[in-house]
Structure 1
Amino acid sequence: MSITEMIEQAKDTVSIRRVFGEPIVQDGLTIIPVARVVGGGGGGSGSGEREGDRPSEGSGGGLGFGVTPTGVFVVKDAEVRWQPAVDVNRIVLGGQIVAIAALLTVRAIVRARARTARRR
């Protein structure tokens, strides 16, 4: 697959439908899912000295996308409300970082007090 073909497929992959999903309508309520789409790609080629009867050439490329739900728009009676998605993994990671910082702070305080007690 050539780089041009990959770019064309990426255009099809990253569309407004990926960010704003198909609306869900039920009982007078419309829900529009929203996501954050991140993508990247790269490619390269190379050539080298001839090995036997075959030339040393190469090319390659890659593409990657990630989608994270961010929330939904809720539409009811011409009123629009934003409902953010809760990312439990991010909450747990934040708690772990706070706990580590607290433990390091307590350790530094205990060591400082121990040094002060030894000097007396």
Structure 2
Amino acid sequence: MKIEELVEKARDVITVRRVYSEPYEQNGTTVITAAVIGGGGGVGTGRGEKGKEGEGGGFGVSGRPVGAYVISGGQVSWRPAVDVNRALTGLAVVAIAFLVTRVQIARAKADHR
């Protein structure tokens, strides 16, 4: 794939349409979902020992839902998405930090006796 083609494909992937969905309406309520999109890439060219030239590159994109705008009765509200995996990971980190701290405090008390 040529570098110009790669850049064009990346431009097509990273657009506002990836962040906000098309509005969905049912029973007088409209929902527009939103996501966080991130990405990166790189390209390069080179010349081999026999004088042959080459080029290449790549990119990656990731996204996760963050919530939705809900429009109902002339009022707009934001409903955040709950990422259970992220919440459980955060809880596990806090629990481990608590346990490590408790062990260190217990050892320090035992050393002073």
- Report the number of matched residues: 113
The match for 2:48 is: 48
- Kindly report which structure 2 residues correspond to 1:1-120, keeping only aligned pairs within 5 A, or say none: 1-50=1-50, 55-117=51-113
Q: TM-score, normalised by structure 2?
A: 0.93
* Bigger radius of gyration: 1
Deviation at 1:104, TM superposition (A): 1.1
Q: Deviations over 1:54-111 (max 9, x none)?
A: x444322001100110100000121100000001111111111111111111111111
Deviation at 1:47, TM superposition (A): 1.6
Gaps of 5+ in 2: none
Task: Output the amino acid matched with 2:24.
Answer: I
Structure 1 stretches of at least 4 aligned residues deviating more than 2 Å after TM superposition: 55-59
Percent of residue pairs identical: 47
Q: TM-score, normalised by structure 1?
A: 0.88
Q: Matched residues in 1 for 2:79 and 2:88: separation?
A: 20
Q: Decide which moves more: 89-98 or 25-34.
A: 89-98
Gaps of 5+ in 1: none
